[in-house]
Structure 1
Amino acid sequence: MGLTARILIAMLAGIVVGVLFNFLNSSQLLGSGITGVINSYLTGGLFDVIGRIFIASLKLMVVPLVLVSLVCGACALSEGHRMGPLAGKTLLLYMLTTAVAITLALCMALIVQPGVGVDVAPPGGAFQPKESPPLSDVLVNIFPTNPVAAMAQGNMLQIIVFALLMGYAISRCGEPGQRVASFFNDLNEVILRMVGVLMVFAPYGVFALLAKTFAELGVEFIWELGKYFLVVLITLLLHAFGVYSLLLKCLSGLNPVQLFKKMRPAQVFAFSTASSAATIPVTLSTVEKRLGVDNKVAAFTVPLGATINMDGTAIMQGVATAFMAQMYGIEIGLAGYLTVILTATLASIGTAGVPGVGLVMLAMVLQQVGLPLEGIALVMGVDRLLDMVRTAVNITGDAVVSVIVAKSEGALSVETFNNRNYDSVANAATP
């Protein structure tokens, strides 16, 4: 059985086990003693430990993989003087897809009106958002003062800047640079092999993560804010299968169905981990080995996309803004919605390194249009599952942009992209 099939089975099994445990816990059919054992030793014990170890193992690979892959890619790009055009295209496409995402979200929310008739009292009291940093500080903090500290803290934008600078310098150092580049290329192969070893245990990690999530949340929480939940979910799916397909077909001429089929392992990973950063090793391997994107392009576009490409988060912000305006009966008008589009698009880059970035961005957007921040506490009730879906959407966007940019740069193997033998490609890629 292929790894993709095993991961999908583990995902479904985790959901079923989680929902069953939640039902047993809420109904008390087995008595408080047995349900206490389930909660303590399985949900809060075994599943929690396995899930956290799996996430920690994924995050272990992120910094070395991004640094080494990006240094290798920057070396190759700098030799051909293509760094500037590639970076420009990538940033433009990421900002374009984010703007389209939030526009689509606002249109859906204005048509469906999920906030009409909703009780304005948020559960658990008011939400206290973290203070968003000034734009000047954000721009300065992109550039590292200490690359070792940036890697220790997992500051992806600073790591990307340092790796690009180092790769450029290596490509300009002649023979010493060639020796260093050869070392990084060999190291890149070793790190990819480490990722392959980790992927063997992926189904167990996916099962534990989803079993714990659904055991704690159940499915009934979705109905509390069902209309809002469905609008966000449908918009995410429309953006993933509609906007991305159209963009890929128009700008590269390639078949979107092929991309979606080959991205399934990475999408499952993103769904189960709800972290674009933790999914970088799988996304990068899938984009290179399954979709045929050259490493010199993928090593730049994928880590950058995991950091600043937040289409799924932008969709949540658009729907949540309209939802809260309708819920509180506040009319923000066309100018207000245009402000939401602009703020969310720019904030997707500006707040990339901030913890809890989605809620920070939402707080920034609400402040711009004068909506009360207390409503954030209400939507947080269903945000966990939506976060899992929008992370899968985000990494799909990373792959689409990577393929489009690679095609325009002549760095895409169309033969690999069109190869329908998914199993053999998957075995070579190991995601």
Structure 2
Amino acid sequence: MKNKVKAYRFPIILLISIVIGSIVGLLLGKDAAVIKPLGDLFINLLFMIVVPLVFFTISSAIASMDSMKRLGKIMGSMLTVFIVTGIIASVFMLIATVIFQPGSGVDIPLSQPESTQEEASFSEQLVETFTVPDFVDIFSRENMLALIIFSVLIGVATGLTGEKGRPFATFLSSGAEVFMKIIQLVMYYAPIGLGAYFAALVGEFGADFIGDYAKAVLVYYPVSILYFAIGFTLYAFIAGGKKGIVRFWKNILSPAATSLGTGSSIASLPVNLQAAKRIGVPKDIRETILPLGATIHMDGSCLSAMLKIAFVFGVFNKDFTGIDTFLTAIGICLLSGIVMSGIPGGGFMGEMMIITLYGLPMEALPIISAIGVVVDPPATMVNVTGDTVSSMLVTRQMEGKDWMEKAEEPEAMT
């Protein structure tokens, strides 16, 4: 019990600070705006760090994947499964948000004007979205997709350079560690920053704002449980038929409980590897997919990202309808799932990406961050167990439909 409390200590502290801030806002009303600068300071610190953090984490992760050549087929199958399951999770939550409309009770006016730039053609928009005309433009958070592509290219080029690229790979890895540490340092201030921000927010918009959060939570928990029960059962059936379902449910409860107890995909990895082994997933597949999946495959994060997008659209009274809006939201869910790290209370990078790609005001960041804190336990559980069933799907694609029979004897002897 103590370990569980310790694992969730920081999210609990954040939640308490948000509750205290909300109470202060209710008591002081509009006078609570006097402490809003304390919240703005926290937001500015996060946005100051996001560009180098995204660059170093993505480029260093790709630069270190030198085993991908040997396991190219596994990687290709893995990425296909990750993308397809991520899209399904996003659509699953999209349907729920369209039905229940979280965040629709309060209308916060946008603090920055809508863009007035001339309408560009689709091809021009694509070019502007994925590239920039000058190197210095990469360092603007308004060009986040271009930054991600640049980071991927740097990582790939570093890995392909071989021995001569190793010093640079070390630099990238070191940079990633340094900026993750900076995030940790900034997060020590998060309880004060979020508390102050929510005091000002609730003080201005009242109790209806709190009711919107309750509605968002009531949407997320049942949807995530349904996805876990129905979606993963279906994936297990596709991977191994009735036997796949039996093996999955027989072995998945331990990783699920561990992920709930630790709040971390990485901390759940040893237990998840054991579960995959007992299910019959071959060694090379499970030891490739599960470690990578702990950081780049997060169905639970796709679910929460869609909820955050719908919520912030509702709060800022933006129109969350139309195929273009929905496709963009699904794409952002996949991207935010890829950049989210497997640490307790993580996800700020994905949240910053939602804000920057939609051109929302900075005030939207703490609003959706609070959702991330509340839904973190079930999101982590779906993330971890999603990796296990994905390894089963990849094995089915690699080894054929009778892979479970092939695996029974060798795995039993190990």
Task: Give the alignment's TM-score, normalised by structure 1.
Answer: 0.55
Select which of 317, 320, 329 maps to 1:329. Answer: 317
Match of residue 248, structure 1, among 207, 221, 236 = 236
1:262 maps to amino acid: N
Which of 150, 158, 166 is residue 137 of structure 1 equivalent to?
150
Shift of 1:256: 2.5
Q: Find the aligned partners of 2:256 and 2:176 in 1 and give their Cα distance.
A: 22
Q: Secondary structure at the match of 1:409?
A: helix
Q: Is residue 90 of structure 1 aligned with residue 103 of structure 2? A: no
The Cα of 1:407 is off from its aligned counterpart by: 3.0
Structure 2 CA distance for aligned equivalents of residues 267 and 291 of structure 1:
15
Between the aligned partners of 1:382 and 1:333, the Cα distance in structure 2 is 21
1-structure distance, mates of 2:7, 2:171:
37
The residue number in structure 2 matching 1:389 is 378
Matched letter for residue 250 of structure 2: K
Aligned residues: 286
Percent of pairs identical after alignment? 23
Deviations 1:258-303 (CA, angstroms, capped at 9, x unpaired): 3133122211221222221222222122211x21211111111111
CA distance in 1, matches of 2:365, 2:256: 27
Query: Which residue identity is paired with 2:219?
Result: V
Residues 15-414 of structure 1 mapped to structure 2, 5 A cutoff: 78=70, 83-118=71-106, 120=108, 131=141, 132=144, 134-143=147-156, 145-146=165-166, 225-253=213-241, 254-288=243-277, 290-334=278-322, 335-349=324-338, 351=339, 358-410=347-399, 414=404
8 Å CA contact retained: 2:81, 2:390:
yes
Distance (whole Å) between structure 2 residues aligned to residue 388 and residue 297 of structure 1: 27
Verify the 8 A CA contact 1:291 1:416 in the aligned structure 2. Answer: no
CA contact 1:225–1:382 (8 Å) conserved in 2: yes
Indicate if the aligned counterparts of 1:115 and 1:323 stay in contact, CA closer than 8 A: yes
Distance change (3 Å), C-alpha of 1:409 and 1:231 = same
Amino acid across the alignment from 2:364:
G
Cα drift, residue 398 of structure 1: 0.4
- Give, as a single letter, the amino acid of the residue that structure 1 aligns with 2:370: G
C-alpha distance 354-255 of structure 1, shift in aligned 2 (>3 A): closer
* In structure 2, C-alpha distance between the alignment counterparts of 1:353 and 1:11, rounded to whole Å: 20
Deviations 1:150-186 (A, max 9, x none): 777888xxxxxxxxxxxxxxxxxxxxxxxxxxxxxxx
Cα deviation for residue 98 of structure 1 reads: 0.8
The whole-number CA distance in structure 2 between the counterparts of 1:376 and 1:236 is 23
CA distance in 1, matches of 2:172, 2:273: 21
* Contact preservation (8 Å) 1:112, 1:231: yes
Q: CA deviation at 1:10?
A: 7.9
CA, structure 1 residues 293+354, in 2 after alignment: closer, same or farther (shift >3 Å)? closer
**Once structures 1 and 2 are overlaid, which stretch shifts more, 131-140 or 293-302?**
131-140
Distance 1:259 1:11, change over 3 A: farther
Distance 2:286 2:175 in 1: 23
Task: Quote the Cα distance in structure 1 between the aligned partners of 2:249 and 2:88.
Answer: 20
Gaps of 5+ in 1: 1-6, 27-65, 122-129, 156-221, 420-424
- Find the aligned partners of 1:149 and 1:382 in 2 and give their Cα distance: 35
Distance change (3 Å), C-alpha of 1:98 and 1:331: same
Aligned in 2, Cα 1:257/1:223: closer, same or farther, shift over 3 Å? farther
Q: TM-score, normalised by structure 2?
A: 0.57
| Deviation string, structure 1 residues 86-136 (Cα, Å, up to 9, x no partner) | 211110000111111111111101101121214759xxxxxxxx9557023
Is the contact between residue 101 and residue 311 of structure 1 (CA under 8 Å) also seen in structure 2? Answer: yes
Long gaps (5+) in structure 2: 20-60, 110-139, 159-164, 178-209
Contact 1:248 1:404 survives alignment (8 Å): yes
